[in-house]
Amino acid sequence: MGLGSIIFLYGFCPAFFLIYYLLPKRFRNAALLLFSLAFYAWGDPYCICVLTLSVVVNFLLGRLLSGDRSAGTRKCIFVAGCCLNILLLGVFKYTGLVFQTVCSAIGIELTTPMLPLPMGISFYTFQAVSFLADAYRRRIKAGPVGFSLYMMMFPRVMQGPLMRYEDLAPQLDARTVDAERMAGGIFRFIIGLAKKVLIADVLGTASAGLGAVPDTVAGAWLGLAAYTLQLYFDFSGYTDMALGLGGMMGFSFPENFRYPYCSRSISDFWRRWHITLGAWFRDYVYFPLGGSRTTKPKLVRNLLVVWLLTGLWHGAGWTFIIWGLFHGVVICIEKLAGLEKRKIPSAVRHIVCMLLVMLGWVPFRSAGVGEMSAYFARMFGAGAAVDSAALLYLHDYLPLILIAAVGCTPLVSKLCSRLGEKRPTLAGALRCAAAVLLLLLCTVFLVNSTYQPQLYARF
């Protein structure tokens, strides 16, 4: 059950909010926790066992860290806790990669069955490590219900956004919802749903239809453009849904996207894309390594370590390692050459940035190094230039690609803001009409097609 499924929209969500608002405020956290457990267990009871184990173990470790113990003992507890979380993630996510690499090195072709990957394990493992780090610094202390909600609150459990416990704790103790905030949350949820169902899923059909490695150069570039837009609208759509649901409950979750495809450098792109993941690596890996206030060789080391780990976090495969290191190398070049400070026309910066981002999505989407190599070869001339299939897909999907390209910019938001300033009554009416229309369209699409899980849910 995903946030954009029919079961969630017309079953789980209405039942939850009906009970949530009928209960006195002091019982709402408990109700949210019970519904979160039900949400996560709905599709896979096996996954809820892994998540519950993680919650229990990390809560107990947090209690040990908050006790009156020597500095050495607390440091040992913290290191052991981090190792346990990394081990849990490694067992489920990277066992297959290790076995396949070893077998390949000794000349054995073996397809190792990987353990089922619990949904959202990368996200809640990082949440746990963040909690332990802050508990070790004596910045926080959590109760069982509060910590459980921090780890498994259903809008955030699968794909974030990532948060520090100290940012969520005050909201767990006291939060309010008025009519304006409720309406804003509903509208944002519907916008996110429309991004996912009406744009991302349709573009995904085009990307998949052209094949893992399209037959022509035009098909390869068209498929990559569709995937580039699909990935953004899929993940940012989920974030909008999560933030909308949070607003409807009185929570303020951090933003995770800020028009990343308007960036003018790769460094700028990663300040706008998956913002909370970047902040996590900055605070818990990059700064402890020394950050940028060090020698140039150490700066390069710090950046490459961060981006190697970022690639591994996204997936257990050499393509994700290549993707991470690709971004790390580009950012190293930008910083060492001072490219962000140089006077280069904005249009040139933007075109180069988008080209690099799109090239980076090739290994990200590929099933293996061979498929990645074949895709790059096709993009740059290995094969026919164009065929009837590519022209047909271009004809069918070009309007949506153009709409999606405009939707990646702040243009629509700025126009709506100006209308709201000049004609607030009209803007409010149009907003309500748009919300109703989009919800109806999404419902029709969901009823007449198979629900597609969010792309980032597999990470």
Do both 335 and 234 map to the same domain?
A: yes
- Asked about 327 being catalytic, the answer comes back as no
Residue 105 has pLDDT above 80, yes or no: no
Residue 1 lies in a domain: no
Region 407-416 average pLDDT = 93
CA-to-CA distance for 94 and 109, rounded, in angstroms?
18
Q: Would you state the pLDDT for residue 225?
A: 96
Do both 221 and 312 map to the same domain?
A: yes
Do both 152 and 17 map to the same domain?
A: yes
Instruction: Give the whole-number percent of the chain exceeding pLDDT 90.
Output: 70
Q: Would you state the pLDDT for residue 317?
A: 85
Residue 453 lies in a domain: yes
Q: Would you state the pLDDT for residue 159?
A: 82
Q: What are phi and psi of 216, to 5 degrees?
A: -135, 165
CA-to-CA distance for 296 and 3, rounded, in angstroms?
45
Q: Would you state the pLDDT for residue 97?
A: 62
Mean model confidence pLDDT for the chain: 90
Q: Are 259 and 408 in contact (CB under 8 A)?
A: yes
Among 97, 75, 87, residue whose Cα is nearest residue 125: 87
Do both 300 and 435 map to the same domain?
A: yes
pLDDT band at 104, cuts 50/70/90? low
Ordered alpha helix ranges (H), 250-383: 266-272, 275-281, 287-289, 296-314, 318-337, 346-365, 369-379
Domain range spanning residue 234?
Answer: 181-458
The DSSP output letter for 3 is: T
Domain boundary among 174, 200, 218: 174
| pLDDT winner (highest mean) among 57-71, 97-111, 316-330, 443-457 | 316-330
Q: Which residue has the higher pLDDT, 213 or 103?
A: 213
Q: Comparing 30-34, 147-151, 340-344, 407-411, which segment has the lowest mean pLDDT?
A: 340-344
pLDDT band at 451, cuts 50/70/90? low
Q: Would you state the pLDDT for residue 115?
A: 64
Residue 268 lies in a domain: yes
Do both 267 and 328 map to the same domain?
A: yes
pLDDT band at 31, cuts 50/70/90? very high
Q: Is 290 left (phi over 0), alpha (psi -120 to 50) or beta?
A: left
Q: What are phi and psi of 176, to 5 degrees?
A: -135, 155
CA-to-CA distance for 359 and 9, rounded, in angstroms?
36
CA torsion angle 71 77 81 82 (round to 10): 40
Q: Would you state the pLDDT for residue 383?
A: 82
Q: Would you state the pLDDT for residue 99?
A: 59
Residue 116 has pLDDT above 90, yes or no: no
CA-to-CA distance for 400 and 201, rounded, in angstroms?
11
CA 284, 356, 220, 207 torsion-angle sign:
positive
Residue 12 lies in a domain: yes
Q: Comparing 112-116, 234-238, 373-377, which segment has the lowest mean pLDDT?
A: 112-116
Q: Comparing 150-164, 328-342, 443-457, which segment has the lowest mean pLDDT?
A: 443-457
pLDDT band at 453, cuts 50/70/90? low
Identify the active-site residue in 314, 327, 350, 395. 314
In sequence order, the 6+-apart residues with CB closer than 8 A to the CB of 412 are 406
Residue 112 has pLDDT above 60, yes or no: no
Q: Would you state the pLDDT for residue 442?
A: 94
Q: Would you state the pLDDT for residue 69?
A: 85
Residue 75 lies in a domain: yes
Do both 222 and 158 map to the same domain?
A: no
Residue 127 lies in a domain: yes
Region 250-262 average pLDDT = 95
Tens-place pLDDT, residues 36-58: 999 888 867 778 888 899 999 99
Region 411-424 average pLDDT = 90
Do both 378 and 333 map to the same domain?
A: yes
Do both 229 and 254 map to the same domain?
A: yes
CA-to-CA distance for 164 and 280, rounded, in angstroms?
9
Determine how many CB atoms are found less than 10 A away from the CB of residue 381. Answer: 10
Residue 114 has pLDDT above 60, yes or no: no
Residue 361 lies in a domain: yes
Do both 153 and 200 map to the same domain?
A: no
Tens-place pLDDT, residues 132-156: 999 998 888 889 999 999 999 999 8
Q: Which residue has the higher pLDDT, 62 or 92?
A: 62
CA-to-CA distance for 62 and 81, rounded, in angstroms?
9
Residue 110 has pLDDT above 60, yes or no: no
Domain boundary among 139, 174, 209: 174
Residue 363 lies in a domain: yes
Interhelix angle 346-365/217-249, nearest 10 degrees: 90
Interhelix angle 95-105/71-93, nearest 10 degrees: 70
Do both 143 and 32 map to the same domain?
A: yes
Do both 169 and 208 map to the same domain?
A: no
The DSSP output letter for 148 is: H
Q: Would you state the pLDDT for residue 109?
A: 58
Do both 185 and 236 map to the same domain?
A: yes
Domain boundary among 121, 146, 174: 174
CA-to-CA distance for 152 and 120, rounded, in angstroms?
10
Q: Would you state the pLDDT for residue 91?
A: 84
Q: Would you state the pLDDT for residue 455?
A: 66
Q: Would you state the pLDDT for residue 176?
A: 86
Residue 401 has pLDDT above 70, yes or no: yes
Percent composition of the chain: helix, strand, coil (DSSP 3-state, to 5): 75, 0, 25
Q: Would you state the pLDDT for residue 48?
A: 85
Region 302-325 average pLDDT = 93
Residue 245 has pLDDT above 60, yes or no: yes
pLDDT band at 275, cuts 50/70/90? very high
CA 379, 275, 320, 50 torsion-angle sign:
negative
Q: Would you state the pLDDT for residue 206?
A: 92
Q: Are 99 and 114 in contact (CB under 8 A)?
A: no
Structurally, the chain folds into a number of domains equal to: 2
Q: Comparing 104-113, 156-165, 300-309, 438-447, which segment has the lowest mean pLDDT?
A: 104-113
The residues pairing with 384 across neighbouring beta strands, listed in sequence order, are 216
